[in-house]
Each structure stands twice: as C-alpha cells, then as structure tokens.
Amino acid sequence: MITQNMILHCGAGFIDRSQLDRITTPEATSTWTPIPHGRLVDEVKSALTSETIEVTEEAHSTTKDGNNYFGLLQVSNKSKQEDFAYVVGLRNSHNKRFPAGLVVGARVFVCDNLSFSGEIYMERKHTVNILRDLKGLTCKAVGFLAARWMDQEKRIDAYRNYKVSDIKANDLAIKAFQARAITVLQIPQVVAAWEYPTHEEFKDRTAWSWFNAVTECLKETSVMVLPARTQALHGLLDHQVGLLDNLAASAAEVNSGNWQGEN
C-alpha cells in the first residue's frame, strides 16, 4: 500500500480526497497567498493526465487543524515495465510553515516533520502570484517525469540484458560496499538474496536480478539515507552495463533550474 511510504506523526492523519475540499483556506494578505490543498492535487492530476500518466493509487493526510497537507500519488504510464512505478509526493501549508511542493521518485519521502525528498523537486512560496505560476511549474515537473520514465525503461532493459555470473555478483557486492550503496554487514545478505531469490521473476542471472537482491536487503534502511544508497547503486550498475551518463540528465536539469517561480 502507498500509505506505507508516508510516515505520519505530530497529530497528522489520513483523510479522503473529498475531505480536502472542505478545509477552509485562510484569506490572503498583501504578501502571502495560501492555496487550497485540493487545488494543488487537482493541478498535479491535470498535468499528469496531459502526459498520459495515470494515478493508480493515492493517499492524503493533514494535521488535525487542516493547516498542513501531505499526499502521495502512485502513477503509471502503461508501459511495458510492470515492476517499477513512480510516486509523486505533495505538500502544502496554510500557516506559512513551508512552500507548496512537489517531488517525484521511484520512492519518495513525505512526512509532517518537513522531510521531503526525491529525484525531481519543485516548490513555490505562497507569494502573490502563486496561482499564476502553479500550473506552469507543475506541468514542467511532470514533463521531466515523462522524460525520466523513458530513461528508466532504457535502464531496466539494459540491466535485464546484462548477464551476471555468481563470481561477478560477489564482486559487485564488494563494489556496492565501496560505493556506499550497502554496509559491510549487508554484503552477506546481498549474496544470500542473489543465491536464493525470493521472487520467481528475479531468478534470471542478470544485473536486474542482482539489483533486486540488493534492494531487498535495503528495505529496512532508514528512509533518510535510502535515496543516496539507491543513487549509488544505480551509478555502479549503469557503469557496469555500459549506460551513458545522460540517463541522469533530466534530473540534473530539474535540480539546477529555477523552480521558485516569479514573486
């Protein structure tokens, strides 16, 4: 369930999408323009639809006073890849606690202690022109998601087509430790997961099977360090299978761009 990816505390709780529209949005001031939580969700869904990306599962939450919103949308582009999905994380506030934001990743982290991380990131302060800028910024982020999806499909195809022997698998485990993708204590766990895969589709002796052996062992890793370890893991395998460096170009462009919009 997608709700397992959202950690809630400090009085936050899950609510239905319809309940968002019943939360009162404070009046704007000359320097601050809050937006309805439901408006943010609707803008993101509209942008996803325009890119033929479908929301397959969603979860929404707010703090008890309704001021702080956090949401997750699991999405699919109906591609041939059935064993990975992207998640869109959303947040918004009615009390100036943080900007409206959107984050995209294979796994994202959204919770009410302000942690908010993923591969593609956008946020916009609640200043006077936020409603004017919101649609354009959201469409831009979703456009990069569509590009990343094509990159991810190429990556997984390359992993699946790269054969890995038992000797190579053990060598990759050491290299994964050196790249800080796993800890020294996880090396034997990775080897065991490779030798005895828990899913039938991961029994092929390929880089994709080895990748899934590692991610199986990373399931209990702290969400605060998991993105860096997954990135290191992809870097190791992308180099191993001969992928070009431009697989990460779209994410790099997003992270280096101006995502604050106009004031």
117: left (phi over 0), alpha (psi -120 to 50) or beta: beta
Which pLDDT tens digit goes with each residue over 91-142?
899 999 889 988 887 666 555 444 566 667 788 899 988 888 887 877 777 7
Helix 130-160 to helix 37-50 angle (10° resolution) is 50
Q: Is 39 exposed, middle or buried (0-12, 13-18, 19+ CB in 10 A)?
A: middle
Which pLDDT tens digit goes with each residue over 161-189?
999 999 999 999 999 999 888 999 999 99
The whole-angstrom separation of Cα 235 and Cα 219 is: 19
| Domain residue ranges in the chain | 2-145, 161-250
State the pLDDT at residue 77: 66
State the pLDDT at residue 122: 81
The whole-angstrom separation of Cα 178 and Cα 239 is: 14
CA distances from 238 to 155, 225, 241, 246 (A): 7, 20, 5, 11
pTM for the full model?
A: 0.62
Phi, then psi, of 93 in degrees rounded to 5? -135, 150
The whole-angstrom separation of Cα 242 and Cα 232 is: 15
